[in-house]
């Protein structure tokens, strides 16, 4: 005897092909949720309502030993796609199982949107946490489909998007009751999604649209220190490559900035640190050094956006380019591309007396390199000193009706002075 696991859509029996329909008709045991069983109200088979899955598995196992029994298990869409099939294969031998998939809800959602989905990230928050979704959003994944439940609803996902304060924008689609007569597929703004009541059967599709910073910024109401991350232009495909607001504020404090200084921002990325310095001290000159053309373009866009004229965007590689710049009072190193020791060597030679270098690391290897470099300097010049900060911050985010913390990447900050 075998267990026939049949996927079924919201169109019910009419969505099954003839051969699958005949398997259901021959069933002596019909297993499914109330919703699925309602498609076969007059079936003569013994009915097992799927409530407690483990109890149901015990009942199915008992019927397997009955001669000439035909067991049919009804489930949504593709049974092996975040479905009941995954559990059945752990409790029954493969030779006892036969699968007849229907179109999955994600397939149907993307077909309604007319968007290829082979590169989409599929995430289920059905009975699970939203950690995987948080990570995907922070990484700026281009296409995300989310299988929801009664707790992790479209409204909860909309609230999560707002709380994450992403520097990129997502179009927010909700596909409800796909395949049924009351199907609804619609794009919503985040604010609209927070207020709307959606059908329980839905798939949320998030489509990355690029820079959220395309919205205008009211400079008169902008804080002088700690600009929100979402206000900056950043890399569409790597929004995480920006010094986060909380870390940025610490770096600015540790730099010990004064008016009229020359500052080097090495590995400037999208220029968030440079822009903050330039706004605080309009009579200072900030050299934003970035090796990538995309990064240099972002720096220039952000300078125009925040109307700062004292940032010099330099497309070049450190340490070579550093020999051609004015000697600095302060240096921030946010990226080194494997050349940290050489970069520190040039910084040590060219930095003005009483200067300061602040570095931000995410890797222990770079921290070790910087420590060994400054210890070598101290052997010949005792005026060199350093301090270390290890920063581990978390931001609050809503999870359904609750609030929890999600951590930012740990950062090691090193302050070198002479």
Domain residue limits, the chain: 3-103, 106-213, 216-417
Helix (H, G, I), strand (E, B) or coil at 308: coil
Query: In the chain, which stretches have pLDDT less than 50?
Result: 213
pTM: 0.69
Q: What is the pLDDT of residue 115?
A: 96
Q: CA 346, CA 332: separation in Å to the nearest integer?
A: 13
Give the CATH number of domain 106-213: 3.30.950.10
- The radius of gyration computed from the CA coordinates of the chain, to the nearest angstrom, equals 29
pLDDT of residue 160: 94
Residue 343 pLDDT: 96
Encoding tokens for residue 97? 């199982």
Burial of residue 86, with CB atoms counted within 10 A of its CB: 0-12 exposed, 13-18 middle, 19 or more buried: exposed
Residues 6+ apart with CB under 8 A from 37: 30, 47, 49, 74
Q: What are phi and psi of 167, to 5 degrees?
A: -80, 5
pLDDT digits (tens, 9 = 90+) for 202-251: 999 999 986 554 567 888 889 999 999 888 988 876 766 789 999 999 99
Cβ atoms of 147 and 121 closer than 8 Å: no
Q: What kind of architecture, by CATH, is found in domain 3-103?
A: 3-Layer(aba) Sandwich (3.40)
Same fold, 3-103 and 106-213: no
Q: What is the pLDDT of residue 401?
A: 78
Q: Name the DSSP class of 325.
A: S
Which tokens hold the place of 85?
A: 């099939």
Distance CA 151, CA 126 (A): 8
pLDDT (0 to 100) of residue 213: 47
Domain 216-417 has CATH 3.40.50.150: yes
Instruction: State residue 3's pLDDT score.
Output: 95
Phi first, then psi: what are they for 394, rounded to 5°? -130, 150
How many residues does this entry show for the chain? 418
pLDDT score of 397? 87
From the list 369, 346, 398, the residue with the least C-alpha distance to 161 is: 398
């Amino acid at each position: 005897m075998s267990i026939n696991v049949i996927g079924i859509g919201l169109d019910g029996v009419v969505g099954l092909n003839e051969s699958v329909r005949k398997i259901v008709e021959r069933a002596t045991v019909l297993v499914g949720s109330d919703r699925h069983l309602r498609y076969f109200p007059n079936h003569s088979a013994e009915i097992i309502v799927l409530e407690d899955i483990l109890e149901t598995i015990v009942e199915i196992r008992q019927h397997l030993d009955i001669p000439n029994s035909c067991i049919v298990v009804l489930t949504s869409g593709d049974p092996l796609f975040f479905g009941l099939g995954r559990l059945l294969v752990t409790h029954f031998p493969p030779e006892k199982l036969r699968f007849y998939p229907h179109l999955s809800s994600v397939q149907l959602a993307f077909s309604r949107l007319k968007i290829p989905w082979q590169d989409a990230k599929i995430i289920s928050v059905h009975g699970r946490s939203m950690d995987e979704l948080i990570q995907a959003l922070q990484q700026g994944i281009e296409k995300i489909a989310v299988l929801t439940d009664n707790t992790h609803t479209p409204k909860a996902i909309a609230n999560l998007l707002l709380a994450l304060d992403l520097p990129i924008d997502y179009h927010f689609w909700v596909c409800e009751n796909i395949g049924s007569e009351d199907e609804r597929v619609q794009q919503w703004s985040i604010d609209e999604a927070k207020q709307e009541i959606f059908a329980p059967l839905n798939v949320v599709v998030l489509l990355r649209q690029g820079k959220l910073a395309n919205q205008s910024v009211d400079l008169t109401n902008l804080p002088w220190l700690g600009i929100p991350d979402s206000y900056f232009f950043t890399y569409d495909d790597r929004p995480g490559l920006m010094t986060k607001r909380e870390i940025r504020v610490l770096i600015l404090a540790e730099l010990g900035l004064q008016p009229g200084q020359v500052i080097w921002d090495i590995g400037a990325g999208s220029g968030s640190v440079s822009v903050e310095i330039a706004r605080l001290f309009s009579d200072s000159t900030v050299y934003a050094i970035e090796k990538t053309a995309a990064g240099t373009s972002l720096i220039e866009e952000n300078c125009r956006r925040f109307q700062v004229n004292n940032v010099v965007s330099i497309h070049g590689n450190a340490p070579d380019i550093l020999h051609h710049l004015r000697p600095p009072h302060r240096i921030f190193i946010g990226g080194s591309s494997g050349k940290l020791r050489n970069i520190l060597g040039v910084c040590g030679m060219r930095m003005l007396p009483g200067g300061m270098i602040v570095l931000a690391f995410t890797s222990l290897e770079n921290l070790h390199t910087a420590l060994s470099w400054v210890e070598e300097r101290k052997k010949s010049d005792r005026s060199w000193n350093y301090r270390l900060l290890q920063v581990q911050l978390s931001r609050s985010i809503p999870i359904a009706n609750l609030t929890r913390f999600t951590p930012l990447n740990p950062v090691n900050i090193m302050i070198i002075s002479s």
